[in-house]
A and B are shown apart, each in its own frame.
Chain A
Amino acid sequence: MSPTVAGSSSNAGALLELRDVHKAFGHVEVIKGVTVAVRKGEHVVIFGPSGGGKSTLLRMMNLLEEPDEGTLTFEGKQYFPHTENVLNRHLALQKLRSQIGMVFQRFNLYPHLDALHNVTLALTDVKKMGWKAARKKAEASLVEVGLKDRMDHYPAQLSGGQQQRVAIARALAMDPKLMLFDEPTSALDPELIGEVLGVMERLAREGMTMVVVTHEMGFARKVGDSLLFVSGGVIAESGGREVLSDPREPRTKAFLEAVL
C-alpha cells in the first residue's frame, strides 16, 4: 500500500498529513502541490536533488515553514490553516511541535548550555517537569544515544557526531510521536556519519515514526518503508524500496545513478 496517495481522500488513519501544500519564497515556487501522509510507525525517506524542496517539505510538517496553501493535520486535528484566533494559534503550534521532534543538519545545539541542559530545557519549560525528573529523563535520553560520559560537556567540546546525538537526545526526551530529520549527517565528517545513522536505525527498529531527508542511500534502503523522490517542488516518484532498486521515472534513475 502506498503511503502517499496524491489527491485521494483515504488517509484518515494517518498520523500526519500534508494535503496539496504549496509554498513560494518570493517569486520562486519551491513546493508545487504536494500531498504526504505519514502513518504511525512508518519510516519515510525523502531524497532528491538540492533545491528540490525536500527540506521545505519537512519543515512544513512542524510548521517551521507555513504553507501558502494546503492543509496540515496531525492525529486528525487540523493545525493549518489555523482554526484558532491569534492567541490560541501559538498555543496550538507549541502543542504540535512538542509532539514532533526535529533534528537539524547543523545540529543547532544551544552553545551556552552543556549537553544535559540542552536536553532538559524543553522538559522543564514545555513539559513543566521539575528539575529532578527532567534531569533523570534527560540522562536516560543521553544514555540511549551513547553519551553517558559527555553530559557535562558543552557543544564546543563535542565532535560533530556527538553533537548530533545530543540533538537527537534533545528531541527524543520529549517522547515525540514523530521525529523529523533534516539531512542529519550532511554536516558530518565521513567517519562520524556511522554513529548517527546507527542511533537512527535503532530508533527505527524500536518503532519510532520518522521522516528523514537524507542523501544516505544505504540508510534509505535499510530503513525506509516509504520513499519519496522530491524534485522540482513535487513528489516525482514514490513507493517502497523498489523506488531505489527499480525506479520508473527517468529523473529518479538519473539522480540515483549520480549519487550511488
Chain B
Amino acid sequence: MSWNPTNYEFAWNVVWQYREWLVAGTLLTLKIAAVSMALAMILALPLALARMSRFMPLSLVTQFYVAVMRAIPLLVFILWAYYGLTLISGIQFDPFGAGVFCLTAQYSAWLSEIYRAGLQAIDKGQREAALSTGLSRSRAFARVIWPQAWRIIIPPLASNFIGIIKDSSLVGIIGLNELMRQAQIADSLSFRPFELFTAAMVIYIALALVISPLASLVERRAARSLSVQTRRATRHQRSLGAAA
C-alpha cells in the first residue's frame, strides 16, 4: 500500500478489532495513575510540612528534593529506575513498580508545593485561635488548618491527576502494557497508526473530561459537609474513647 494522504482509506474497524487490548490498557493506565496519585498525595503532606519547617536543614533537603524532581525528565527517570537502579540497589522492579516509583517520586514533589501553598493561604490567626483554646498543635492542624487548606488544594489535585494519567503513557517504554503501549503494539500488527492512536487520544480525553467535573463535585461536597464531618469525627472519637 503506497502512502497517499489524499486517498487514504480509513479502517476504523481495527479499533474494534483491538478493543479488548485498548480496554485492558485503559484499565492499567487508570490503575497505575490511581496508585501513584494516592501514594503521592500521602507523601506530599510530610514533604510540605518538612518544607515549611523552621528547622533549616529539613527545609533545605526538601527544597533540594523538589528541585531535583523538577529537573529530571520523566522518561529518563523511568529508564534509570528500571534498568539502572535495579543494578546498583538489588531492588527488582517490575515495570509497574518502576512506573509507580517514578510517578510517585515526581508527583509527590509537585503536590507538596501545592499543599504548601494551600496551608500558607490559611490565616495564622486560625492557628492562634485554636491554640488559645488549648488545642494541641496537631489537633489544631487536623481540625482547623487542614480542613480549610484541603478546599484550596482539591482543584489543582484534579489537574495533577489528569497529568499523572498522561505521564503514565511514558511507562510503556519499559514494557508496561498501558493504553499507549497497547495502541503501539496494535499498530505494529495492523499498520493502522492513525486509527489506533486516535482511539488512544480519544480515551485520554474522555478520562480527563470525566475527572474535572468529578473534582468540582468533590470540592462542593467538601465545602458543604465540613460541619457534618466534624460532628461525625467527634462521635467517632467518642466511641473510640468509650471502647478504650
Which chain A residue has the least Cβ–Cβ distance from B133?
A122
**Secondary structure of the B contact surface, majority rule:** helix
Chain B proximity of A47: nearest CB distance (Å): 22
C-alpha gap A221/B137 in the complex (Å)? 38
Of the stretches A108-116, A228-236, A250-258, the one at the interface is: A108-116
Whether B234 lies near A104 (C-beta < 8 A) is no
- Find out whether the CB atom of B133 lies under 8 angstroms from the CB atom of A97: yes
Interface residue A170 (Cβ < 8 Å from any Cβ of B): yes
Please report which residues of chain B, range 130-144, place their CB below 8 angstroms from some CB of chain A when the two chains form the complex. 130-137, 139, 143-144
From known contacts A117-B230, A131-B238, infer whether A112 and B151 are also in contact, taking CB-CB under 8 Å. yes
* A90 interface hit (Cβ, 8 Å): yes
Q: Is the CB of B133 within 8 A of A108?
A: no
Interchain CA distance A141-B134 in the complex, whole Å: 18
- Asked if residues B226 and A113 are in contact (CB atoms below 8 Å), the reply is yes
Of the candidates A109, A131, A134, the one whose C-beta lies within 8 Å of that of B129 is A109
Is the pair A131, B135 in contact by a Cβ cutoff of 8 Å? no
Assuming the contacts A95-B134, A171-B133, asked whether A117 and B125 have C-beta atoms less than 8 A apart, the reply is: no
The reply to whether B135 and A108 contact each other, CB–CB distance below 8 Å, is no
Q: Which residues of A contact B133 (CB under 8 A)?
A: 97-98, 101-102, 121-122, 126, 170-171, 174
With both chains docked as a complex, state the minimum distance between the C-beta of A115 and any C-beta of chain B, in angstroms: 10
Select A117's contact among B223, B231, B237, beta carbons within 8 Å.
B231
- Across-interface contacts of B131 in A (CB, < 8 A): 64, 97
CB-based A-B contact count at 8 angstroms: 88
In this assembly, does B94 line the interface, its C-beta being within 8 Å of a C-beta of chain A?
no
Q: Is A120 part of the contact surface with B, judged by Cβ < 8 Å?
A: yes
Write out, one digit per residue, whether chain B residues 167-208 have a CB within 8 A of any chain A CB (1) or not (0): 000000000000000000000000000000000000000000
> B143 contacts A125, CB within 8 Å?
yes
A residues within 8 A CB of B134? 94-95, 97-99, 122, 126, 174
Give bound CA distance, A179 to B230, whole Å.
Answer: 26
A95 to B231, CA, bound (A): 24
Residues of chain A within 8 A of B130, CB atoms compared: 110, 121-122
A106 to B124, CA, bound (A): 11
B212 at the interface (CB under 8 A from A): no
The answer to whether A108 and B143 have CB atoms under 8 Å apart is no
Q: B residues within 8 A CB of A95? A: 134
Residues of A within 8 A of B126 (CB): 108, 110
A122 to B132, CA, bound (A): 10
Which residue of B128, B235, B241 is within 8 Å of A104 (Cβ)?
A: B128
Return chain A residues, CB-CB under 8 Å to B148: 110-112
Residues of A within 8 A of B123 (CB): 108
Residues of chain A at interface, number, CB under 8 A:
35
Contact A130 B125 (CB under 8 A): no
CB distance from B135 to the nearest CB of A (A): 6
**Which A99-151 residues have C-beta < 8 A from chain B?**
99-102, 104, 106, 108-114, 117, 120-122, 124-126, 128, 130-131, 134
- Interface pair A121/B132, CB less than 8 Å apart: no
The residue in chain A whose Cβ has the minimal distance to the Cβ of B229 is A112
User: Which residues of A are found within 8 Å of B13, using beta-carbon distances?
Assistant: none
Closest chain-A Cβ to B136's Cβ sits at a distance in Å of 6
Tell me whether A112 and B147 are in contact (CB under 8 A).
yes
Residue B227 interfacial (CB < 8 Å): yes
Bound CA span A85–B164, Å: 45
* CA of A121 to CA of B230, assembled, Å: 8
Question: In the complex, which of the residues B129, B136, B143, B241 contacts A128, with contact meaning CB atoms closer than 8 Å?
Answer: B241
Q: Which residues of A contact B144 (CB under 8 A)?
A: 110, 121
1/0 contact string of B204-244 vs chain A (CB within 8 Å): 00000000000000000001001100110011011001000
Pick from A90, A111, A112, A121 the residue with the most CB of B within 10 Å. A112
A122 near B135 with CB under 8 A, answer yes
What is the minimal beta-carbon distance from A239 to any residue of chain B, in angstroms? 29
Q: Give bound CA distance, A177 to B186, whole Å.
A: 76
Measured in the bound complex, the distance between the Cα atoms of B234 and A117 in whole Å is: 11
Q: Shortest beta-carbon distance, A150 to chain B, in Å?
A: 14
Task: Report, nearest first, the 8 A-B pairs whose CB atoms are least far apart.
Answer: A98-B134, A122-B133, A108-B129, A108-B125, A102-B132, A126-B134, A97-B134, A112-B226
24 contacts between A and B (CB under 8 A): A62-B132, A98-B134, A100-B132, A104-B128, A104-B129, A106-B125, A110-B130, A111-B148, A112-B226, A113-B226, A113-B227, A114-B227, A121-B135, A121-B143, A121-B144, A121-B230, A122-B133, A124-B234, A124-B237, A125-B139, A125-B143, A125-B234, A128-B241, A170-B129
